[in-house]
Structure 1
Amino acid sequence: MLRKELDALTPELYIELRRKVEFEDYSIEDVTQALEKTLFSVVIYDDDVPVGIGRIVGDDRIVFFIKDVVVDPSYQNKSIGTAIMKALMEYIEGKACNNAYVGLMSTPNKEGFYKKFGFIERPTEKYGHGMVKFVNRNIDNS
């Protein structure tokens, strides 16, 4: 049975689920400090097993950035990502001012998933390319 817990994300859960999808690894100290700055998080459980996470960072009014929407590969395509995004968007809609900015960086080939929540791909005629820079990374940024 699936259940949702709000603001229940721990460093251990964060590291465990990100490893399952082969996302970048961070030290427990770095994750602990980062999660202290999280505005809101959600964890989806199957009984007592964490199967999905998501969090929001930002200023809690004008800028929100959705981060770390992760679903255990064995639970993907079961609407868990949708449940995570609905919880995150509900939080944002309750806090955001008029014209607030909500950003995210999609993993490759997942853009269509986020479009269902009203996100647009950039560039458009009005908005330029989204950009990113990695600090102290010794790999090709392409």
Structure 2
Amino acid sequence: MDEYTFTTEPPAPADFIRLREKANMAPRSLAAVEKGLPNTIFAVTVYHDGRAIGMGRIVGDDGAVYLISDMAVEPDHQGNGVGTRIMERLMAYLDMNAVGSAYITLIADVDGFYERFGFEPVRPESKGMYKRIT
């Protein structure tokens, strides 16, 4: 893992868009990314040879509600523990800063990854929903 550099800053907007694309995630417009990234509560961006290859961030109100969002690692770097180390850093932030009764959520498309960090399906108590602005 020595070849990777981990920072606690969001990626540049172009890197954010590229990483989401490489991870087959829904696209975000440059305008949305430029408006949204400065509102990040905490972020981790991973670099390899000076290039952003992974990211994850926490958004929310930094008190009652947190959302782990935009977890992405370029396919060539998956399986090397990069995603795990991103999540460890995000969870460390939450462990140090989230107060009792805070709700931490995420939308996952990877089975078996987030469970090791204590996340559970919301069903049957709740159901996840979304609406996309087009």
Structure-2-length-normalised TM-score: 0.92
Pick which of 23-32 and 95-104 moved more.
23-32
Structure-1-length-normalised TM-score: 0.87
Contact 2:10–2:57 (CA<8 Å) still a contact in 1?
no
Identity among equivalent positions (%) equals 36
Give distance in 2, aligned partners of 1:118 and 1:47: 32
**Unaligned 5+ runs, structure 1:** 137-142
Larger Rg: 1
- The residue number in structure 1 matching 2:60 is 58
Residue 25 of structure 2 corresponds to residue 23 of structure 1 = yes
Whichever residue aligns with residue 97 of structure 1, its letter is: V
- List, as ranges, runs of 4+ consecutive aligned residues in structure 1 with deviation greater than 6 Å: none
Corresponding residue to 1:129 among 116, 123, 127:
127
Q: State the Cα deviation string for residues 15-47 of structure 1 (Å, max 9, x = none).
A: 111111222222212101010211111111113
Aligned length: 132
SS at match of 1:102: strand
Corresponding residue to 1:34 among 33, 36, 54:
36
Query: Aligned-pair RMSD on alpha carbons?
Result: 1.2
Contact 1:55–1:68 (CA<8 Å) still a contact in 2?
yes
**Unaligned 5+ runs, structure 2:** none
Residue 117 of structure 2 corresponds to residue 113 of structure 1 = no
Give distance in 1, aligned partners of 2:81 and 2:93: 19
Q: Shift of the alpha carbon at 1:50?
A: 1.4
